[in-house]
Structure 1
C-alpha cells in the first residue's frame, strides 16, 4: 500500500473521529439545554390535556397527533429559524417578544379563573372574541388551533431557554441542538399526553379481564382504580395547567423586566424566597421556589386580568379585520 493511500486513510479516520466527537458534543449540549427547559416542558404537558375535554375517545389520539404535528412545525419551521435569526441579527428583540408571549399565557390562564369566578362576565367576554383559526369548519378545528397557539408560546420559551443554554459555537451546531431539543421535547410531551388520556381505556380493558386469567384479580382492581381515578387526574392536570400558565407567564414578564433594569419586583420575590428558605431549612430550595412561583403567579394573574378587556375590546376586533383581509386575498376574483 502506498504511503499516499495510507496517509489518506489516516486523514479519513481523523475526520471520522472529529465528526463523532462533534455529534457527541451536540448530543451532550442538547441534553443539558433540554434539562434547563424541563419546567416549561412540564407546564406544556399539563396544559395540553384540557384541550381534549368534550371529545369522544375515538378522536383523542387523532387530535393529539394534529397538535403534536403543529407543535413540531412551530419549533422546527418557525421558532428555530427565528431564534437563530434573532440571536445573530437582533438579539435585543428576543426579550420583548418573550414578554409578549408571557403576557399571553397570563391572559389565557386568568381567563380560565375568571370563567369560574364570574361565569356571566366570562360568557360576555367570549362572545366578543374572534375565533383563532382562519377557516375553522368544526369545533375540533378551533380547539386544535387554540392548542397549537398556546403551544407556540410555550415552545418559544423552550427554544429561547435552549438557545441561552448553548455555549458559543457555530451556526450549524446551534441549529442542530435546537432541532434535537425541539423534536425530542415534542415527542416526550405528546407521548406522555397520549398515555394520560388513554389510561382510562387501559383501565376498562384491565377491569374487563376474565376472572379465570392469571393475576386477574389485582389487574381488574388496578383497572377499576384507573377508570375511577382518571377524571380526578385530568381535572388536576387542567388545574395545574391553568396555574402553570399564570406563574410561568408572570415569571417570564418579571425576568424580562430585569433585563430592562426593572428588577425590583423580581428581587423582592427572590429575597422573600431566600427568607422562607432560611426559616425552613429542611425544605429550603422547594420553599424558596414555592414563594417565587406564588409571587410570579400573583403578578401573572393581575396582568392576565388587565389583558381580558384589552383582548375583547382591541385585539379581537383587530384580528377580525386581519382574518377578513386574508379571506379576501384568498378568494379568487
Structure 2
C-alpha cells in the first residue's frame, strides 16, 4: 500500500486544482441548449429524466453546459418534437422513438417491440449488440442523434371497459396504443389510435376510446384510470419501452469534446435512473392498487388471443423486412440478439424465479 505524506497530498491536490482551473480558463464559455419534451410540466418519471440529465450535465461541467426544458404545454406540440429538433428550433428533445413511425417508419424499432427484449436485454443490444449504430444510421439521415432516454420496464397491456374473452372482443375496439403494437391490433380488427398523455383520461372517461395502454402502475395509478376502467391486463406489446434523447447534430457539433462526453454520460445515467425509478414506483403502486382498489381486476389475455397477436406480429415483421432493407437489417439484428440473450435470461433470471417458486 502506498502511503502519502500530508505534504504530498497537498501538492497533488494543488496540482489537480490548477489543472481544473487551467482547463476552465482555456474554455470558460457557457453553452446553452434548449430542449422540447413530449410531456407536460412536472410530469412524473418521464419528465424527471430530462431534468435529472440537465442537472447532472450542468454540475459535471461546472456550469459550462446549461439546458433549459420546454414542456408540451409551452411549445404546444407534444408529437412535434422530432420536427422541432430537426429544424433547429430546439437543440434537444425528450420523447419516444416510435412516435415518429408516420414520418420515418424505421424509428419505431428503437423503443420496444411486441414479444421482444426485456429492458436488460435491450440495453445490452443497444450498447453491446449494435443497436446504437443502427439507430445512428436511421436518425443520421435527418441530421439527428438519438440516445436511450429512460426505460419503463415491462408495460401493462392496458385498461379496458370490458373483459377480453376472445378474438371477437378485439373487433372494432377503439384503443389508444402507439407503435408496432397498434399495427398488430389493427391486423386483428381493432382500431388503434395515439393520443397525447394529457388527454388520455378524458378520452377514456367520455368513451371516445374503449381502452388504453399507458405504462404500468408506476404512472397509471396517478392518472386515475382505475376509476373508469375495471379491467387491467398484463403486457405483451412493450416489454422494454425506451424513451429517447434527440439531439440536433449541428448543436452537438458546436459543443467542445469534453461537454459532448459530459452530455453523453449524463443522458446514459439519467436513462438508467429512470428505469430504476419506474421499476420502484410500479412495485409501490401495484401494492396500492391491490390493497386499496379491490375492484380492479388484473387479467391476462386468453391463450387464443395471445397466439393470434403473436402470429399477426410475426407476419407484420416479415412484411416490414421484405419491404425495406434497413428495416430488415434492424429486425434481423434484434432477432439474432434476442435468440442469444434470451437463452441466458432463461437459465439465469427465469430459472431462478421458477426454482424459488417451486420451493415455497
Greater fraction helix:
1
Fold match, TM over 0.5?
A: no
How does the TM-score come out when normalised to structure 2? Answer: 0.25
Q: In terms of Rg, which structure is larger?
A: 1
Q: Which has the higher contact order (CA 8 A, sep 6+)?
A: 1
TM-score by length of 1: 0.27
| Structure number with higher strand proportion | 2
